[in-house]
Structure 1
Amino acid sequence: MATGMQLISGTGLASRIGGLNRFAPVRSSVPLFKRDLKFRVRSTADQDGGDVVDEKVKAAIPVPPRLFSTPAPPPQPEESTKISTIMAFDGPGPERINGRLAMLGFVAAIAVELTRGQNIFSQIQNGGIMWFIGTTALFSIASLVPLFKGVSADSRSGGVMTSDAELWNGRLAMVGLIALAYTEYIKGGTLV
């Protein structure tokens, strides 16, 4: 870098320091530059008299924003909003709804066992069927509304709360709820 600067400036460090720098170029090897160079700017015109501008130059010119521009089109739904597609066997609805209901049911069953000492079968017999129907309807509708609007669960997930984590938690809750009912049936009483 220093040698390049010495070449451009025309004087080396050797002339200033007195021979301390052995790698500095000799002054006579530096070409002399003219300072009075004149530049001419030319433009080309097409046959109609208009200016011809290179495409790269056009791309580099910023386009000023419009004051009255048309609004952006509304975003298109990411997923199909047909009931047959949403509630299909491999659709986004059934496993998510069943998983959410299983998570809610597993936590509620364990909580009632701890507070009242009732197993899952006595919970259903003592008025639990109405709670089951009410929460099933509420959570099913709440889970279907975003799907009918075209919002996918994958687009709303981020960080730790991903859509895959929700699916796996729902699957584990389904297995846990069945295991809880089976264990209480075999044992003949509460698990806890």
Structure 2
Amino acid sequence: MILGSPVTSLSQSRNGLNQFVPSSYLPRLHRNTRLRVKCMSEPKSSTDFFDLFSFSGPAPERINGRLAMIGFVAAIGVELANGGDLSAQLSSGGLLWFLGSSVLLTLASIIPLFQGVTAESKSGGFMSADAEIWNGRFAMLGLVALAFTEYVKGGGLFQV
């Protein structure tokens, strides 16, 4: 650029040719004084019991989803192996296994939360925290659908 020249920028016209535009034709950009930039680092998660187990807290849906994933896979697996429906599985000792695994998975899920570790900070790639939430939701729906189907059918899902 030549000093003192009224030409200050190079713009592209509609036909694709570059042309010089005089500075008097360019709009003035005013600085917005209300615009503030904040750091968007990940906030420290709360380790308070009531914050973790609140309705929108990180613990309830994640723990229930993990239990549903284990329960759905176990229920389908035992039904394929033995042919017993969900109620037969629960009455023949499955309830104790369910309670034991529920306690173990709940403790394994809440201990990191009480230490301030979030699932989002440990997730990445294919096995993300969002994928775990969605898989848990589908497993919850799958368990309900399995129980409802077996109730309506009057027996196991894979029984003829």
TM-score, shorter chain, exceeding 0.5: yes
Q: Are positions 1:128 and 2:103 aligned together?
A: no
Report how many aligned residue pairs link the two structures.
116
Give per-residue Cα distances to partners, 1:20-42, cap 9 Å, x unaligned. xxxxxxxxxxxxxxxxxxxxxxx
Q: Which has the higher contact order (CA 8 A, sep 6+)?
A: 2
Task: Specify the alignment match of 2:48 in structure 1.
Answer: 82
Q: Are positions 1:151 and 2:117 aligned together?
A: yes
Match of 2:134 among 168, 174, 188: 168
What is the distance in 2 between the residues matched to 1:106 and 1:173? 6
Give per-residue Cα distances to partners, 1:69-104, cap 9 Å, x unaligned. xxxxxxxx8210010100111000000000000000
Displacement of 1:144 in angstroms is 0.3
What is the distance in 2 between the residues matched to 1:152 and 1:78? 9
Structure 2: stretches of 5+ with no match in the other structure: 1-42
What is the distance in 1 between the residues matched to 2:111 and 2:47? 10
Counterpart secondary structure, 2:119: coil
Displacement of 1:177 in angstroms is 0.3
* Greater fraction of residues in strand: 2
Identity %: 58
1:1-192 matches, within 5 Å, as 78-192=44-158
Name the amino acid aligned to 1:84.
F
What is the distance in 2 between the residues matched to 1:186 and 1:121? 13
CA RMSD, Structure 1 to Structure 2 (Å) = 0.9
Runs ≥4 residues deviating over 4 A: none
Counterpart secondary structure, 2:125: coil
